[in-house]
Amino acid sequence: MKVTKQLNNIIQANELDFFLEAHNGLSAKIVSEAGFKGIWASGLSISASCGARDRNEISWTEVLDIVERMVNVVDIPILLDGDSGFGDFNNVRCLIKRAERRGVAGICIEDKIFPKTNSFLEGKNQKLVSTREFCGKIMAAKDTQVDHDFCVIARTESLIMGQSVAESIDRCSAYAEAGANAILIHSKKNDADQIQEFSQKWGKRCPVVIVPTTYQNTPTEKFKEMEISLVLWANHLIRSSIRYMQEIADSIMKNQNVYCIDSKIAPLSEVFRLQNTAELEAAEAKYY
Amino acid sequence: MKVTKQLNNIIQANELDFFLEAHNGLSAKIVSEAGFKGIWASGLSISASCGARDRNEISWTEVLDIVERMVNVVDIPILLDGDSGFGDFNNVRCLIKRAERRGVAGICIEDKIFPKTNSFLEGKNQKLVSTREFCGKIMAAKDTQVDHDFCVIARTESLIMGQSVAESIDRCSAYAEAGANAILIHSKKNDADQIQEFSQKWGKRCPVVIVPTTYQNTPTEKFKEMEISLVLWANHLIRSSIRYMQEIADSIMKNQNVYCIDSKIAPLSEVFRLQNTAELEAAEAKYY
Amino acid sequence: MKVTKQLNNIIQANELDFFLEAHNGLSAKIVSEAGFKGIWASGLSISASCGARDRNEISWTEVLDIVERMVNVVDIPILLDGDSGFGDFNNVRCLIKRAERRGVAGICIEDKIFPKTNSFLEGKNQKLVSTREFCGKIMAAKDTQVDHDFCVIARTESLIMGQSVAESIDRCSAYAEAGANAILIHSKKNDADQIQEFSQKWGKRCPVVIVPTTYQNTPTEKFKEMEISLVLWANHLIRSSIRYMQEIADSIMKNQNVYCIDSKIAPLSEVFRLQNTAELEAAEAKYY
Amino acid sequence: MKVTKQLNNIIQANELDFFLEAHNGLSAKIVSEAGFKGIWASGLSISASCGARDRNEISWTEVLDIVERMVNVVDIPILLDGDSGFGDFNNVRCLIKRAERRGVAGICIEDKIFPKTNSFLEGKNQKLVSTREFCGKIMAAKDTQVDHDFCVIARTESLIMGQSVAESIDRCSAYAEAGANAILIHSKKNDADQIQEFSQKWGKRCPVVIVPTTYQNTPTEKFKEMEISLVLWANHLIRSSIRYMQEIADSIMKNQNVYCIDSKIAPLSEVFRLQNTAELEAAEAKYY
């Protein structure tokens, strides 16, 4: 089944599903092999992997180049973190045109200004755009996509910016009317109370996506009760790689050798397996 | 000190030094923070991180884009794995021109055909080019570089291809005469005997670089005795990240939550620290 | 009709058609507006427009980036000049995967080594690969494409390299059997005799494409008689732009003003029209 | 002399100079060969050449890739049209860091919002940013550059937006104080009256750059009297190429042959000369 259809089905289904973050082809493959049904191509993680900040320091075409290499290696849908759309409605159109063509299954855009700053950071440029402006972006995105199943998810940073649940509901209602296939309600609270309140008031106008980064201690059962459609575990692989690369680098530095850590890391054969070397050997036999 | 001079000094110095592999801006930063004096921008690791094979499936300009983002975040020299030079002598010239400009401190090219296949794999295209052809590439590289300190390291795959130590010496002598700043002698044996024999016969015609991936159990002290100039630990961070991302992804999948692994991965604050968020806050106060 | 189907129909049709060269989005638009049914994304022209030589100095992903911007602005098929495939059969597979995804309608690859040198130049690396090796590339390309209509055209440089028409027929027969949708027979003679001889002996095993650059004085009627399927005018827009940019640049330099040439160049309004500014204004009214 | 120094000297000199627009490596070479002392890497022209609008539809890294290929082929300074800086002060910093490294000699940024719309078009997003915000960008740029001679030129769209000359003077004074090496005063009037008034009131606080696109009938002598430092002929090569490519494409289409136009376009040998094929032949003799 084509990835756009897969993603659309997951979002529309009456059960909770989970996407895990990936930030390059390798982590995408790992997410896929672990059994997840889809991938969150996280802006934070992609930026971090490049050594850049989550503030649009990496251009939108650089992001597309990275995501295209993820598309190359997995068959599950990739949901692209489109940040605030990399500019105005017209930049959103440029983004959709090329992202869809390169095999992205759907895109999520948020109602902050460009450049956006990560939701968990303070900063003078943590600002929402008007509901009207953001609806224009959603409409522009929906009118640009070619494949009917391509999903546009509207993310509100309303709660992040200190607005009330009622205000968030208003924004999301407008976004759904503008054509969003789902809404993503983001919170930086340490518990899921805001999200729960939002869910109750939201009803089932359209599917709801959440990102439980700060309220990650909430039992998954609770998200099911809230009738959440999709949970994004949004940054856990980049954080895994940081922890372990630091630990291993420090060990090597301290011991001035690598045999001290060799059994603790993946063998070279596992690198080759992930790269699908076997397929190349078969192809050489056929074409070379 | 400019990075080209740093690299040149390390190579010329009469003591053993160590570079650790990095494959993106993030891992480059981690290598730098761990205290290493330089970075090996590994072709295997960069390919693997992209989900591609170590066989020039990633174009040379894609490699440069990735390496430029490493340059952005560290002050230590980056030695670029230039594979077999991405084509003939003229492709080498194109590569040097743009790699040097983008801040790479030196480049290593090897005497295999294009496309190259990873040294530890079998394959019909595991072939050496002639000594004469490879010397042409080295000369072309040296004549193209602008900064006098930029280093070109000539790597021979002679032992990998089953040639004798004597044949390897012949090749490396020619490479040194052609202008290589150092030679890299590669072996896929499980012990360092070949390397030791090479070192003894080589004398000190020019500095020697090694990549102890398969003979990694050799005590570092032994490399010092051999008067090796530089050891490249060539793929240990990508292998670290694979091992741990797989483990964490599997845990999340199995438990359907992230609190089971949260304490085992880097906190979000560490991601922000690595991205140098503090500097952005200071800059906002100044420029915004 | 999708562009792959358009191209396939043109190639299969029993009448002569013509594609004109383009080297960027602008020239692609001009070709389309002039009424041509398709575009030849010429390697020579794309290289030249970048200030580079026709010898794979521009990476294959740089070529794809340029071609993607052509795809953005036209509805007619773009036939990509894939040179010698940017490496071996596996590089061809990487190329096809990404070129097809980005909207290219078909690709032409030639039986020279990588890097290739322009057919009209002398050079030590003007060499053919073996028939067997090139057939492997064709099969690899055909097995990689997803859309059944995507065209792979096999170009032989056999006549260019001084081989006989009989040898060229042998090569092309093998290429057709390997799955090529059409063959391109190239000649650097000043008359069409070789091409005519080839056509007669070839019969109609599969469609024939030609590039009358040196034998451009041949009446088009003659190509029809030979039952040629497609003529590529392969470099005429880049040559137009060179002639006129040089003339205008010299005039401005000499006169130290631009009013001397203003009426001789397109007005700014024409630039805006080609950029489809009107559509943006309408979109602003709708989305902003 | 390094290109940054060349550009700085030209701007500081007490005589009028002229830069001509280029939009790719080829046109850059033509500008250089015509005898101009520098190149204006125009945002309008680069966009147009890509088939895109002058509204930041092309990402800043795509622009850098195009400009890097210009740098590859000329020895004269390239002044990059940085539009409104591709975002806020921090995006300007990212831009400067990479543009300088890739060999750009200086950059011009303008005081409009991002995305910017071409000065000669109407549009809802034709808006200035505050003087304070733009000064932050200038300071950020100057603090980021590494080479002391790298030039940052501050362009005001104040007159374009209907503000008075006095208001423009106020803005430019602030920009000069913030560190701009020169100011660019833009006008869309059909005569140079505004520019003249500005020049008189401006005195010689810092060098002045102009873009006489609409008031191109003004005699160059007059610009000298105004003590203008640099004139940018900002779009004349792209307009040349459009005019002639359209004419030739139409001729070919109408006549169904190319011999009708062959003598009117550059011969293939001129393409090869511009690509510096002779140098490659010499290099082959040396390195191959």
Q: Is the Cβ pair D44, C271 closer than 8 Å?
A: yes
Sort out which chain C residues have CB atoms less than 8 A from D51's CB and list them. Answer: 24-26, 28-29, 69-70, 72-73, 274-275
CA nearest to C61 within chain B: B59
State the nearest Cα–Cα gap between D204 and chain A, in angstroms. 36
Reported confidence tier of residue C124, pLDDT bands at 50, 70, 90: confident
**Low-confidence winner among C130-139, C220-229, D118-127, D207-216 (lowest mean pLDDT):** D118-127
Cβ atoms of D97 and D124 closer than 8 Å: no
3-state SS class at C228: coil
Residues D94-105 have pLDDT tens digits of 999 999 999 999
**A60-71 vs D60-71: helix axis angle to the nearest 10?**
100
In sequence order, what are the residues at sequence separation of 6 or more whose Cβ sits closer than 8 angstroms to the Cβ of residue D155?
A: D108, D109, D110, D111, D183, D184, D185, D186, D209
Burial class (CB within 10 angstroms; exposed 0-12, middle 13-18, buried 19+) of B130: exposed
Average pLDDT along chain C: 97
CA nearest to B135 within chain D: D287
What is the pLDDT, as a whole number, of residue B89?
98
Q: Is the Cβ pair B137, D72 closer than 8 Å?
A: no
CA–CA gap between residue D171 and residue C136 (Å, rounded)? 65
What is the pLDDT, as a whole number, of residue D284?
95
Chain C contacts to A (CB-CB under 8 A): 68, 71-72, 88-90, 93, 97-98, 101-103, 133, 136-137, 139-140, 280, 283-284, 286-288
State the nearest Cα–Cα gap between B178 and chain A, in angstroms. 33
Q: Is the Cβ pair B140, D283 closer than 8 Å?
A: yes
CA nearest to C74 within chain D: D51
What is the pLDDT, as a whole number, of residue D136?
98
At B77, list the tokens.
Answer: 């020299």
What is the pLDDT, as a whole number, of residue D124?
86
For residue B245, the Cα-to-chain-centroid distance in whole angstroms is 23
With pLDDT > 90 as the criterion, what percentage of chain C qualifies? 97
State the nearest Cα–Cα gap between D259 and chain B, in angstroms. 35
State the nearest Cα–Cα gap between D132 and chain B, in angstroms. 8
Residues A42-57 have pLDDT tens digits of 999 999 999 999 999 9
Threshold 0.90, pTM exceeds: yes
In this prediction, residues D3-21 reach a mean pLDDT of 97
Which listed residue (B54, B81, B83, B149) is catalytic? B54
Which listed residue (D17, D54, D147, D262) is catalytic? D54
At D162, list the tokens.
Answer: 């209907």
State the nearest Cα–Cα gap between A173 and chain B, in angstroms. 29
What is the pLDDT, as a whole number, of residue B145?
98
Neighbours of chain B (3+ CB pairs under 8 A): A, C, D
DSSP designation for C112: B
Reported confidence tier of residue D71, pLDDT bands at 50, 70, 90: very high
3-state per-residue secondary structure call for chain D: CCHHHHHHHHHHCCCCEEEEEECCHHHHHHHHHHCCCCEEECHHHHHHHCCCCCCCCCCHHHHHHHHHHHHCCCCCCEEEECCCCCCCHHHHHHHHHHHHHCCCCEEEEECECCCCCCCCCCCCCCCECCHHHHHHHHHHHHHHCCCCCCEEEEEECCCCCCCCHHHHHHHHHHHHHHCCCEEEECCCCCCCHHHHHHHHHHCCCCCEEECCCCCCCCCHHHHHHCCCCEEEECCHHHHHHHHHHHHHHHHHHHHCCCCCCHHHCCCHHHHHHHCCHHHHHHHHHHHC
Residue C63 has pLDDT above 90, yes or no: yes
Sort out which chain D residues have CB atoms less than 8 A from A61's CB and list them. Answer: 59, 61-62
Reported confidence tier of residue C123, pLDDT bands at 50, 70, 90: confident
At C148, list the tokens.
Answer: 């059944």
Question: Does the ipTM exceed 0.85?
Answer: yes
Q: CA of B190: how far to CAs of A195, B212, C131, C277, D115, in Å?
A: 56, 9, 40, 65, 58
The single residue listed with the structure tokens 């546009």 is A152
Sort out which chain D residues have CB atoms less than 8 A from B283's CB and list them. Answer: 89-90, 93, 140
Cβ atoms of B208 and B238 closer than 8 Å: no
Cα C116–Cα C55–Cα C167 angle in degrees, nearest 5: 25
What is the pLDDT, as a whole number, of residue D262?
96
When scoring C3, C90, C138, C287 by the number of chain A Cβ atoms within 10 A, the one with the most, hence best to mutate, is: C287
What are the residue ranges in chain A where pLDDT is below 50?
none
The torsion of the CA quartet D281, D283, D286, D288, rounded to 10 degrees, works out to -80
What is the pLDDT, as a whole number, of residue D204?
82
CA nearest to D16 within chain C: C256
Neighbours of chain A (3+ CB pairs under 8 A): B, C, D
Q: Is the Cβ pair A287, C137 closer than 8 Å?
A: yes
When scoring B15, B16, B20, B26 by the number of chain A Cβ atoms within 10 A, the one with the most, hence best to mutate, is: B26
Residues D234-287 have pLDDT tens digits of 999 999 999 999 999 999 999 999 999 999 999 999 999 999 999 999 999 999
Task: Single out the residue of D171, B212, B180, C283 nearest to residue A140, CA to CA.
Answer: C283
CA nearest to A237 within chain B: B245
Q: How many CB pairs under 8 A join B and C?
A: 37
Would you list the DSSP string of chain B? --HHHHHHHHHHSSS-EEEEEE-SHHHHHHHHHHT-S-EEE-HHHHHHHTT--TTT-S-HHHHHHHHHHHHTT-SS-EEEE-TT-SSSHHHHHHHHHHHHHTT--EEEEESB-SS---TTS--TT--BPPHHHHHHHHHHHHHH-SSTT-EEEEEE-TTTTT--HHHHHHHHHHHHHTT-SEEEE----SSSHHHHHHHHHHTTSS-EEE--STTTTS-HHHHHHTT--EEEE-SHHHHHHHHHHHHHHHHHHHHTSSTTTGGGS--HHHHHHHTTHHHHHHHHHHH-
In this prediction, residues C271-275 reach a mean pLDDT of 98
> In a structure prediction context, what are the per-residue pLDDT tens digits for chain B, which is 288 residues long?
999 999 999 999 999 999 999 999 999 999 999 999 999 999 999 999 999 999 999 999 999 999 999 999 999 999 999 999 999 999 999 999 999 999 999 999 999 999 999 999 988 889 999 999 999 999 999 999 999 999 999 999 999 999 999 999 999 999 999 999 999 999 999 999 999 999 999 988 999 999 999 999 999 999 999 999 999 999 999 999 999 999 999 999 999 999 999 999 999 999 999 999 999 999 999 998
At D59, list the tokens.
Answer: 């990402």
In this prediction, residues C158-167 reach a mean pLDDT of 97
State the nearest Cα–Cα gap between C206 and chain D, in angstroms. 24
Q: Is the Cβ pair A283, C139 closer than 8 Å?
A: no
What is the pLDDT, as a whole number, of residue D123?
83
In sequence order, what are the residues at sequence separation of 6 or more whose Cβ sits closer than 8 angstroms to the Cβ of residue D184?
A: D108, D110, D153, D154, D155, D156, D208, D209, D210, D211, D232
In this prediction, residues D135-158 reach a mean pLDDT of 98
CA–CA gap between residue B198 and residue B194 (Å, rounded)? 6
Cβ atoms of B108 and B82 closer than 8 Å: yes
Q: Is the Cβ pair C90, B60 closer than 8 Å?
A: no
**Residue A54 among the catalytic residues:** yes
